[in-house]
Structures are given as structure tokens and as C-alpha cells.
Amino acid sequence: MSSLPAFDFPDITRSTCSDILIEADAEDVLNSIPESSIDLIYIDPPFNTGSTQRLASVKAERDANSGRTGFGGRTYKTTLISSHSYEDSFDDYLGFLLPLLERSYRLLATHGTLYVHLDYREVHYVKVALDQIFGRSNFMNEIIWAYDFGGRSKQKWPAKHDTILVFAKDLGNHIFNYDDIERIPYMAPGLVTKEKARKGKVPTDVWWQTIVHTTGKERTGYPTQKPEAILRRIIEASSMPGSWVLDFFAGSGTTAFVSQQLGRRFIAVDRNPEAIKIIKNRVNMANVQTFGC
Ligand SMILES: C[S@@+](CC[C@H](N)C(=O)[O-])C[C@H]1O[C@@H](n2cnc3c(N)ncnc32)[C@H](O)[C@@H]1O
């Protein structure tokens, strides 16, 4: 793995050092980050879907002269507002990810935790690789994020979940803020005491959470953007105020945005200039040091 030439990485061991945004290939950055300095890593790598991830935002306006007919027989004109994309096809997926996972292990502090967000295509291969890097005894959870949106296959069970693999650097010494985890309603509140039903329960390893809605206010227009609620749960549970949170496949900056909201410090890396532009618009840039962008 190479290091970004002439890349003067800030001294993140200083308590005054604040958020960092880098436009670069992850491979060129990770060697510049000091070992054992990161409290939490969340990554959502490309899933190897075999195609380009693309999302276009379109504005529809009434236009009597347009040939497009919509609700109630009214005619509309559509204008493309923005279109974002990134490549998601790999001949050797593990060859791409493995060096980055090995480096992640070294970057984590002893109390640190790694969350790797994948779907059904690559998750099993990555689990085996992570067992080797972290040791099976440091495997913490396989979180299933279940949603119910989008097209449904009629030839197989519609795939409506992602998997988030969680490994502690040193299980037992890891941060896990059980009491800070936001509680959710019981599925069958009638089966528990009124007091328990009122308090709600700590979520299990199956997380029902809707995807970022196409018209929702957190929508940035970046493809494969993840819900803030997922990142809020992860960051609250596995880091402390002031902690360093690293995401080297930052995309639209969900990790960076939520980290800032929760008083953590982020290092966000993405090689796609479109992603960096969106992050700059999304987070408070007042105290963010930028590199390559
Ligand atoms: C699935 S998206 C991340 C989405 C993000 N979690 C969000 O909520 O918006 C994966 C991102 O990884 C970036 N990426 C892919 N390969 C990379 C690499 N080698 N180094 C840095 N970024 C990379 C892509 O540009 C893309 O933005």
C-alpha cells in the first residue's frame, strides 16, 4: 500500500485537532494515519453489484406543451437537476478490500470497533477475511439492517436487507455505551410489564429501518446514501464525545454528518469529487481541514 505523496497528515493526537475531509483513494491515505489512533471505523464499501451506481434527481413542472402525462391527465416537463455516480464492479473484490481491512485493524485503538456494511454478495468472504485479521474471538455482531422498499423479484425471495459485520479490536476492552442506546418499542408490548413497555427495549442485532426516502429531508442525491438513524445508533454505542470516527468510503458523508452532530470528530475520505462536493454542503465546514479538495 502506498502513501499519498507530500501528504502532511495532521497530528490527530492533539485534542485541538478537528474534523478532516480528504479527496483521495483510501489506499493512498490510510498509511498516513497513525496506528492505534482511531476509536471507531464505519465503512460502506462498494457492494460489487457489477454496475455503475447512479442516481439522478429530476424536477417535474406543469407544462401544457409537454408530451408527458401524469396524475389527472395533466402534462409535465421534467428537468435533470443533478446526477451522481460511482463505479461498483471488481474482478478481485477481496484483493481490493483486504489491504484496507488489515490497515483498519492497525489504526484502531485497543478499545476501537470496526463496522463493515455489505450486502449478500460479498459478506461471507469478508467475514472469513476479518476472522483472520481480527481473530474470531473479536467478532462482535452480524447486524441485519432490514428494510422494505424498491422492486421485488418474482423469481426468488426479494433481497431486502444489508449486513453490517462488527469486530472489536479487543473484545471486552471495547467501547459499548449500552445505556446511551436509543430504545425502541417492543413488538408485543402486551407480553411485558407496563414499566418495560413504557421504557422500550434496546435493539437486537436486527434493525428495521426504512431507507433514505426519495423525498426525505436527509436525501442528498448521492447513490446508496445510508440513513442517519443507522449511523447514529452505531456512533452513539461505539464511541465517546471527542472520539475519532473514520469512514474511508464516505460517499455523501452520512458518517461525517452524524459524527459532528454527536460531538465526535471525523476523518472522511472518498475518491469521488462528486461525493466530496456533497459532503462540503452537508457538514459544518467551519472547523474541517481539507486535503486534495
Ligand atoms: C456505498 S458508497 C458510500 C455511501 C455512504 N455510506 C453514504 O451514506 O452516502 C461507497 C463510496 O466509496 C467510494 N470509493 C470507492 N472506492 C474507493 C476507494 N478506493 N477510495 C476511496 N473511496 C472509494 C465511492 O466513490 C463511493 O462514494
Q: What count of other Cβ atoms lies within 10 Å of the Cβ of residue 101?
A: 21
Element (H, E) at 183: none
CA of 200 to the centre of ligand 1 (A): 35
Query: Ligand 1 center to residue 173 CA distance, Å?
Result: 30
On the question of pLDDT at 81 being above 70, the answer is no
C-alpha cell at 275: 461525493
Q: Residue 77's pLDDT is what?
A: 58
Q: Work out the mean pLDDT of the chain and round it to a whole number.
A: 89
Three cell numbers at 181?
442506546
Residue 63's pLDDT is 67
Atom index in ligand 1 nearest the CA of residue 100 equals: 19
Question: Does residue 59 carry a pLDDT above 90?
Answer: no
Give me the residue spans of the domains in the chain: 20-50+89-291, 54-88
Residue minimizing CA distance to atom 12 of ligand 1: 249
Atom index in ligand 1 nearest the CA of residue 42 equals 6
DSSP code of 200? -
Q: What is the average pLDDT across 233-262?
A: 98
Average pLDDT over residues 65-85: 59
286 vs 215, which has greater pLDDT? 286
What is the per-residue pLDDT for 174? 98
Q: Which of 2, 49, 249, 293 to mutate to test the pocket of ligand 1 (most atoms within 8 A of CB)?
A: 249
R_g (Cα) of the chain, nearest Å: 21
**6-10, 131-135, 260-264, range with the lowest pLDDT:** 6-10
Residue 80 reports pLDDT greater than 60: no
Which carries the bigger pLDDT value, residue 56 or residue 198?
198
Closest-lying ligand 1 atom to the alpha carbon of residue 26: 20
Q: Which atom of ligand 1 is nearest to the CA of 45?
A: 10
Pocket of ligand 1 (CB under 6 A): 25-27, 44, 46, 86, 222, 224-226, 248-249, 251-252, 254, 269-272, 275
Span 232-248, mean pLDDT? 98
Q: Among 73-82, 133-142, 170-179, 197-206, which stretch is predicted with the lowest mean pLDDT?
A: 73-82
Residue-level pLDDT at 75: 58
What confidence tier does 2 reach under pLDDT thresholds 50, 70, 90?
A: very low
Find the range with the poorest average confidence among 180-184, 213-217, 230-234, 243-247: 213-217
Average pLDDT over residues 73-91: 66
Number of neighbours of residue 229 by Cβ within 10 angstroms: 16
Q: Is the pLDDT of residue 205 over 50?
A: yes
**What is residue 68's predicted lDDT score, i.e. its pLDDT?**
53
Residue pair 201/186 in contact (Cβ under 8 Å)? The answer is: yes
List, in order, residues 6 or more apart from 194 with CB less than 8 Å away. none
Going by pLDDT thresholds of 50, 70 and 90, the confidence category of residue 162 is very high
CATH topology of domain 20-50+89-291: Rossmann fold (3.40.50)
Report whether pLDDT(144) > 60.
Answer: yes
Structure confidence at residue 48 (pLDDT):
76
Q: Between 56 and 245, whose confidence is greater?
A: 245
Q: According to the model, what pLDDT value does residue 5 have?
A: 54
Question: Averaged over 120-145, what is the pLDDT?
Answer: 97
Rounded Cα distance between 65 and 209, Å, is 41
Q: Where are the alpha helices (DSSP H) in the chain?
A: 26-29, 93-107, 123-134, 194-199, 228-238, 254-261, 273-282
Q: What is the best residue among 209, 258, 271 to mutate for testing ligand 1's pocket, by most ligand atoms within 8 Å of CB?
A: 271
The beta-strand segments (E) located in 89-198 are 108-118, 139-146, 161-168
Residue 79 pLDDT exceeds 80: no
